[in-house]
Amino acid sequence: MSEQIDRYVSFKNIDCNARAEKMMDALKPYIEAAENPFWAYFQQKRAEFNAKGYDDLRVLHNYLPTLKELIEDDELLAQLEDLEYTCM
């Protein structure tokens, strides 16, 4: 990205919703594998939050520490940390 982003000045030109959607898509293999009971809980809470009008960025923010602990893919973890730094 050629433009310098300063999230403390403005979220202008930062598509946080698209980044959150991309992260949710990337988490699908973890959710579908269901190797940890957290993922079913995460899906349930996501549905509840979305029904209340909260977006996926809020859902990701609420479970950020757990997600960081469970994600084993370094690239995906870096993507999550970038989302945290840029949008949360």
Res 7 pLDDT > 70: no
Residue 5's pLDDT is 64
**How many residues would you count in the chain?**
88
Show me where the domains of the chain are located: 16-87
Residue 53's pLDDT is 94
Which residues lie below 8 Å from residue 76, measured CB to CB, with a gap of 6+? 26, 27
Task: Compute CA distances 4 → 11, 80, 84, whole Å.
Answer: 12, 19, 17
Over residues 74-79, mean pLDDT: 97
Residue 73's pLDDT is 94
Each residue's pLDDT tens digit, 42-76:
999 999 999 999 999 999 999 999 999 999 999 99
Res 3 pLDDT > 70: no
